[in-house]
């Protein structure tokens, strides 16, 4: 979801942005008008997340998936070692891709428990010579989220925060790089955000496309070529909205309130279940199963008639999944919870 007020604002200024007689979609990316939009978005992001000055913020394209290659191509040399935490579908994809460019060591894995619990930190096998430790802060498909920033000593963390970006504070002192596809909490699909510590820039492999080089993008202020201007503008409006709502503390508090409500209902029910252990549960994506799976289609059909959509689980795991991103109002969760309770009464 995107916040309704953001979409209303975009609609209002769609044909004529601030009296220019032009749509944002028609503004050249090097015009003072668009540069203003771009800079304001970055300033708001820096303020909201308290991003330290020694981090560059890049507004790129290619989706979060592009970062599965860009990260190792920029931060490792062939043969270098990186540690990875394998906790679900997205970290699995990322470490497979990274393995094409460097030596990936799985320091801990949730595979044996079918991705229902984040491995205990005491079981992680970290190596002192790893370039970085890679993890997926929120596993969107399996509904698992790290509850604390992993501790890796001197070795910097690299994290895919695609599905929980802007939902809680980030302790930048532990991180070398963070990336996020915009499409969950930041704006429409098409924009990929990278926040990278500046001392890590300038180590990209020589034979990669220049557009894949973080240092080049940082130097060109994310405008080496035409950026996704409309997405950048929309992200700017979302960031303004977050700021007006009270910033990250409010987003975090709402995320906890929304997800707790749904977990409580699921845990109290004999009919619905969530397989993830309590200490690993996501505040963003809540997968759940119906006791009788033959009712899945009925559940989805009836949900849709109540205006509740996008509840089918990811095709790789089945079942259901409620995604509760920042723009989801608590009333949305109440509506889902009411529907689920009623469904259980009728079919349970
Ligand atoms: C955690 C995570 N990483 C990566 C991706 C892939 O993002 P993209 O489609 O932008 O490449 C997704 C998509 O949902 C995701 O949830």
140 lines ligand 1 (CB under 6 A): yes
Report the nearest atom of ligand 1 relative to the CA of 138. 1
Residue with tokens 């899945």: 296
Residue with CA closest to ligand 1 atom 14: 140
Active-site hit among 184, 213, 232, 241 = 184
Q: If you measure from the C-alpha of residue 64 to the centroid of ligand 1, how many angstroms do you get, rounded to a whole number?
A: 5
pLDDT of residue 156: 98
Q: If you measure from the C-alpha of residue 270 to the centroid of ligand 1, how many angstroms do you get, rounded to a whole number?
A: 32
The CA distance from 295 to 301, in Å, is 10
Q: If you measure from the C-alpha of residue 146 to the centroid of ligand 1, how many angstroms do you get, rounded to a whole number?
A: 17
pLDDT of residue 173: 97
Specify the CATH architecture of the domain 248-347. Alpha-Beta Complex (3.90)
Specify the CATH architecture of the domain 4-245. 3-Layer(aba) Sandwich (3.40)
pLDDT of residue 316: 87
Known active-site residue 241: no
Tens digit of each residue's pLDDT, the chain (348 residues): 999 999 999 999 999 999 999 999 999 999 999 999 999 999 999 999 999 999 999 999 999 999 999 999 999 999 999 999 999 999 999 999 999 999 999 999 999 999 999 999 999 999 999 999 999 999 999 999 999 999 999 999 999 999 999 999 999 999 999 999 999 999 999 999 999 999 999 999 999 999 999 999 999 999 999 999 999 999 999 999 999 999 999 999 999 999 999 999 999 999 999 999 999 999 999 999 999 999 999 999 999 999 999 999 998 889 999 999 999 999 999 999 999 999 999 998
Any alpha helices (H) in 52-88, and if so which ranges?
A: 63-75
Are both 4-245 and 248-347 of the same fold? no
92 lines ligand 1 (CB under 6 A): no
> What DSSP assignment string belongs to 130-152?
-S-EEEESEETTTTEE-SSPPP-
259 three-state secondary structure: helix
Active-site hit among 17, 83, 90, 241 = 90
CA atoms within 13 A on the CB side of 232: 27
64 lines ligand 1 (CB under 6 A): yes
Active-site hit among 160, 213, 232, 241 = 160
Q: If you measure from the C-alpha of residue 88 to the centroid of ligand 1, how many angstroms do you get, rounded to a whole number?
A: 12
Residue 175 tokens read as 């991180």
Domain boundaries, the chain: 4-245, 248-347
Mark 256-291 as b/e (b = at least 16 C-beta within 10 Å): eebbebbbebbeebebbebbbeeebbbbbbbbbbbe
Kindly state the DSSP code that residue 52 receives in the 8-state scheme.
Answer: -
């Amino acid at each position: 979801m995107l916040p309704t007020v953001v979409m209303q604002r975009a609609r209002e200024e769609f044909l004529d942005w601030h009296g220019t007689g032009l749509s944002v979609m028609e503004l050249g990316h090097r015009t003072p008008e668009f540069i203003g939009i771009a800079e304001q978005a970055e300033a708001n992001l820096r303020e909201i997340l308290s991003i330290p000055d020694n981090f560059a913020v890049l507004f790129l394209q290619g989706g979060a998936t592009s970062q599965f290659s860009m990260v190792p191509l920029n931060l490792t040399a062939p043969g270098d070692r990186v540690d990875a935490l394998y906790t679900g579908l997205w970290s699995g994809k990322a470490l497979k891709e990274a393995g094409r460019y460097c030596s990936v060591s799985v320091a801990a894995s949730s595979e044996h428990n079918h991705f229902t619990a984040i491995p205990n930190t005491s079981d992680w096998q970290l190596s002192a010579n790893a370039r970085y430790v890679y993890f997926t802060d929120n596993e969107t498909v399996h509904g698992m989220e790290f509850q604390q920033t992993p501790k890796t000593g001197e070795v910097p963390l690299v994290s895919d925060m695609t599905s929980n970006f802007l939902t809680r504070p980030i302790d930048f002192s532990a991180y070398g790089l963070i990336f996020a596809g915009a499409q969950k909490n930041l704006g429409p699909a098409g924009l990929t955000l990278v926040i990278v510590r500046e001392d890590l820039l300038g180590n990209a492999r020589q034979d990669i496309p220049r557009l894949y080089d973080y240092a080049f993008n940082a130097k060109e202020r994310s405008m080496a070529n035409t950026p996704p201007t409309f997405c950048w503008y929309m992200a700017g409006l979302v960031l303004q909205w977050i700021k007006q709502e009270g910033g990250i503390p409010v987003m975090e508090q709402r995320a906890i309130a929304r997800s707790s409500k749904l977990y409580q209902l699921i845990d109290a029910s004999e009919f619905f279940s969530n397989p993830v252990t309590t200490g690993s549960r996501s505040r963003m994506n809540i997968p759940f199963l119906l006791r009788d799976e033959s009712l899945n289609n009925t559940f989805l059909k009836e949900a849709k008639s109540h205006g509740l959509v996008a509840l089918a689980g990811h095709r790789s795991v089945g079942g259901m999944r409620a995604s509760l991103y920042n723009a989801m109002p608590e009333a949305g969760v109440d509506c889902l919870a009411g529907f689920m309770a009623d469904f259980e009464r009728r079919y349970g």
